[in-house]
Amino acid sequence: MIDVKLLNGIALAFEGDAIYSTYIRRHLIFQGLTKPNRLHQVATRYVSAKAQAMLINQMLEEGMLTEEEELIYKRGRNANSHTKAKNTDVITYRMSTGFEAVLGYLHMSNQIERLETLIVWCIQKIEQ
């Protein structure tokens, strides 16, 4: 068994990216969006690096994250991914990686209620 607390930030972000995308896709489909092209267009508002960086910044400003979640965020943000940011600057890309790491950590440590609380908050922020 792997201790999720010891996983590197990139591995956690890899999981978090998939989980967040799944929740967003489900949300959009339940909103009545069913055409793939439109789904992709709208999903970008939620899952882009810029959107994720904005969301994590607001979470930090509002003190939403636990101490442990902040440490996971920093681990993801500071991880060396060996990939280049697409359509954004390096700082925004790293912040979004930290965001995804938090979600990945929560999912992999079976903190599903907390994960869903944060995702619902994110959806509400984007849709304001």
User: Are 115 and 103 contacting, i.e. CB atoms less than 8 angstroms apart?
Assistant: yes
Average pLDDT estimate for 37-63: 95
pLDDT at 78: 93
Q: Given the residues 11, 16, 17, 46, select the one marked as catalytic.
A: 17
pLDDT at 91: 92
| pTM, rounded to two decimals | 0.94
Q: Is 102 helix (H, G, I), strand (E, B) or coil?
A: helix
* Choice between 87 and 118, residue whose per-residue pLDDT is larger: 118
Looking at every residue in the chain, the average pLDDT score rounds to 94
Q: Is 123 exposed, middle or buried (0-12, 13-18, 19+ CB in 10 A)?
A: middle
Average pLDDT estimate for 51-72: 97
Is 89 marked active-site?
no
pLDDT at 5: 85
CATH number of the domain residue 83 falls in: 1.10.1520.10
Average pLDDT estimate for 10-31: 96
pLDDT at 3: 87
- pLDDT at 81 > cutoff 90: no
Domains contained in the chain, number: 1
Range of the domain at 32: 4-127
Read off the pLDDT band of 24 (50, 70, 90).
Answer: very high
DSSP at 85: P
Average pLDDT estimate for 94-104: 97
